[in-house]
Structure 1
Amino acid sequence: MSGPTFTLTRRRRTWFRGRTALVTGGSRGLGLLIARELASHGARVAICARDKDELARAAADIRRTTGSEAATYVCDLADPDQVDRLVEAVREDLGGGLDVLVNNAGIISVAPVESVSPEQFEQAMAVMFLGPMRLTMALVPDMRARGDGRVVNVTSIGGRIAAPHLLPYDCAKFAAVGFSEGLRAELAGSGVSVTTVVPGLMRTGSHRAARFGGHPEREYAWFSAAASLPLLSMDAERAARAIVRAAARRRAELVLTPAAKAAVLAHGIAPATTVRAMALAQRMLPDVPADGEGADVGTDVPGNVAREAGTPTWSRKAAVFGERAAAHFNEPGPRAT
């Protein structure tokens, strides 16, 4: 028994060696860690993001931690023309076709629905559904022609259970989950596997890059704490290892964090009960600003700015692990604007 098991495990571990992989949103946070992990398995890694300087720092980080070079591409997934140019550049630069696509890029707007604009819903859908869909539909035919490939779609527990004050994010992630699960069914037997990753909260420091509306400083306080507490969130490096392992094994789905697993199970058994639980959670979150005392509809304040506007002591203490993660995973500095 031990011989075949060892061989299979070794084969999965070395599948990435010499393969080409593209990670969207790979300049910081979970995307950077996934890119690191793929590089450590011997893959030739490319990362894309919107910020050129962030990409340069991320490439240096990958070089320092793994000894591997990473190709970088500036691309806003919300812009179809930029997505098309990314596809052309990847095909030309990497050669031989892409073996692994990790759709990880995302944006988070945290605010009560009364403070959210239609444009924020459109932006969320463009970045987390329409852009990844366009990229995937362009690159999968090459994988299918070769009869081998891996597509990993990093969605969210918010794509299974709609959390309050995250509605644009929830809607985009619900669409991403549906696309990912449907694509796996469509590609069955083709040699191309699709893995749907459903993370709960992870300690990546992404609260600094999230955007906040309503009462931005109050929204930041609860979100940064929740995304940092060990009992609610997961170590991001461990999450990246699990995601790469799931891709190698061609797993259909990976739900990360015990809290997320429990929530998915509960929602499957009693969906009305989980919706009521979300309604109760909503009551504990910051109120909608009264006229003249809060931000306007559609206001998006960066997390690092909301933090400097005044964060309660309890929130800063609760977010200490998240702040440490941000410092290591290329998230924006606390005083950036």
Structure 2
Amino acid sequence: MVGIGSKKDLSGQSALVTGGSRGLGLLIAARLAVRGCQVAVVARDEGELERAGQWIEQHTGVTPLTRVCDVRDEAAVAETVRAVATEQNGLDVVVANAGVIQVAPVAALDADAFHDAMATIFDGAVQVSLAALPHLRESSAGGRLALIGSVGALLAVPHLLPYSCAKAAVGALGEGLRSELAGTGVSVTTAHPGLMRTGSHYQAEFGGEASREFAWFSGLSGAPVVSMDAERAAERIVRALERRRTRIVLTPAARAADLAHGVAPTAVTRLAGAANRFLPAAGDEAGTGGRIRQGHALKDAPRGGWAEKVRRLGSAMNDCAARRYNQMTPGPPTSAS
């Protein structure tokens, strides 16, 4: 069994998690299951969903409901939410987690990268929220909605600009919904995780000098001290949802960045610009034609310099997380958070 807290506040409630087939979404679904929820896991890839269902059953003893759905498709989202609410006799808890991560300098991207990030991360969160709210309002327990943001929502991170823009929009959505739903019995919790060891580097997409981008991202996101254990992050998020907290920022580094940006945004932006000088250039790698490549295709790519040293720093822990949390099989990037 996964080591999870013993709170019973959510016992017997109906929950739905998007982007729940791997990584953070998978772990959030597992924690809801252990708390006694009926859990529906939603993602785009049928094979990943099947493995996720087996993982949750193996680690929690609970068999989740699984549903294939692309959160970018408004009609599909509406139908999926309706079907889950019917099968589980309502909806009490909804977690909008589906996302993509694109890692590249802006000079190596086009507008489609921004559209893709907004469609999956922001439009997906909007469509899931709007479809779920009528059911959450009817919840006898008082509905709970959680939106998964990021430290990238709190300040723009170099080489993660589409992701940061979309997550910032999710942050605004969470704050606005919380205000507008005051007094309705429905709470909205926005979670902003920092770097986590989820193994998401295999599902993320990389452009420009893709192998070097993969190296620094996989290393930092798995480095001890800098990054957070994914199971601990999932527990903190579910606890915040349980307690109906408005906002939670995870990892000391993310909280420090949030505070610094609020107090001295110009200085933080200049610091980010200085850090950007150490990141890979925008040049395309030979033979790639400038295309975006998934992390699975880059794990054995040759590289050198400081980026490779950073990768070695965190690769062992992050690769272990990838194996544990259903990240290893290539597929559509639906829950790279």
Normalised by the size of structure 1, how large is the TM-score?
Answer: 0.92
Q: Is 1:325 the equivalent of 2:318?
A: no
Aligned ranges for residues 58-77 of structure 1 at < 5 Å?
58-77=52-71
Q: Which amino acid aligns with 2:109?
A: V
RMSD: 2.0
Secondary structure of the corresponding residue to residue 223 of structure 2 = coil
Confirm or deny: 8 A CA contact 2:9 2:242 kept in the other structure.
yes
3-state SS, counterpart of residue 40 of structure 2? strand
Residues 202-217 of structure 1 mapped to structure 2, 5 A cutoff? 202-217=196-211
Q: Output aligned runs, 1:130-279, within 5 Å.
A: 130-146=123-139, 148-279=142-273
Which one-letter code corresponds to 1:329 in the other structure? Y
Aligned residue type for 1:316: R
CA contact (8 A) 2:13 2:37 kept: yes
Task: Give the 3 Å change call, closer, same or farther, for CA 334–139 of structure 1 in structure 2.
Answer: closer
CA distance in 2 between partners of 1:320 and 1:196 (Å): 30
What is residue 123 of structure 1 aligned with on the other side?
Answer: 116
Query: How far, CA to CA, are the matches of 1:295 and 1:186 in structure 2?
Result: 47
What amino acid is aligned across from residue 330 of structure 1 in structure 2? Answer: N
1:111 Cα deviation after fit = 0.5
Give the counterpart letter for 1:304 in structure 2: H
Q: Distance in 1 between matches of 2:87 and 2:112?
A: 35
Look up the match of 1:101.
94
How far apart are residue 70 of structure 1 and its match? 0.4
Distance 1:76 1:120 in 2: 17
Q: Which amino acid aligns with 2:314?
A: A
2:103 maps to amino acid: V
Percent sequence identity over aligned pairs: 47
- The aligned amino acid for 1:142 is H
Counterpart for residue 18 of structure 2: 24
Q: What displacement does 1:94 show?
A: 1.6
- Residue in structure 2 matched with residue 78 of structure 1 by the alignment: 72
| Residue aligned with 1:284, SS | coil
The letter of the residue matching 2:327 is: E
Unaligned runs of 5+ in 2: 333-337
2:92, 2:139 within 8 Å by CA — same for their partners in 1? no
Tell me how far apart the structure 1 counterparts of residues 317 and 31 of structure 2 sit (CA, whole Å). 21
Deviations 1:259-294 (A, max 9, x none): 00000000010010111111011101001106x857
Q: Give the number of the structure with larger relative contact order, counting CA–CA contacts within 8 Å between residues 6 or more apart.
A: 2
